[in-house]
Amino acid sequence: MKFWKSTLSLIMVLSLSAMLMSACGSNSNESKNKDASGTNTAVAEKVKLKVTTWAGADELKEFEDLVNKLNADSDEYSIEVQSIPSDYYQKLQTMIAGNQAPDFMWLSQEYVPQYESMGVLASLDEPLAKADFNQDDYFPGALDVGKYDNQLVALPWISQPYVLYYNQDMFDKAGVNAPDGTWTWDDFIEAGKKLTTDGQWGALINNMPLPMFLWSYGGDVFDKDGNITLDSPESMKGLEMYQKIAQSGVVPARSQADSMGGADMFKTGKVAMFIGGAGDDFEKTSNFKVGMSLPPKGSEEVTFSWIGVTAMSKKTKNPEVAAKALNDMTKAIHQWKVVSPTKTGFDEITKIRPEKEYAVDTIRKASEVARGFNNQPKQAELDAAIWDKLVQPLEKGEDIQKTVDTTIAKFNEILK
Structure confidence by residue, pLDDT tens digits, 36-66:
445 454 557 999 999 999 999 999 999 999 9
Q: Do 340 and 330 touch, CB atoms closer than 8 A? A: no
CA 41 to the chain's CA centroid: 40
What is the reported pLDDT for 347? Answer: 87
Which residues, other chains included, contact 103 with Cβ-Cβ below 8 Å and sequence gap of 6+? 49, 50, 51, 312, 313, 315, 316, 322
Q: What is the mean pLDDT of residues 357-376?
A: 97
Distance CA 309, CA 158 (A): 7
Query: Which of 45, 53, 109 is closest to 77 using CA atoms?
Result: 45
What is the reported pLDDT for 43? Answer: 57
* Residues paired with residue 129 on neighbouring β-strands, in sequence order: none
Distance CA 52, CA 105 (A): 5
pLDDT > 90 fraction of the chain, expressed in percent and rounded? 85
Say if residue 14's pLDDT is above 50.
Answer: no
Per residue in 139-182, pLDDT (tens digit) is 999 999 999 988 999 999 999 999 999 999 999 999 999 999 99
Q: What is the mean pLDDT of residues 193-198?
A: 96
CA 57 to the chain's CA centroid: 19
What are the structural domains of the chain? 47-159+306-371 (3.40.190.10), 161-302+373-415 (3.40.190.10)
First-to-last C-alpha distance (Å) of the chain: 97
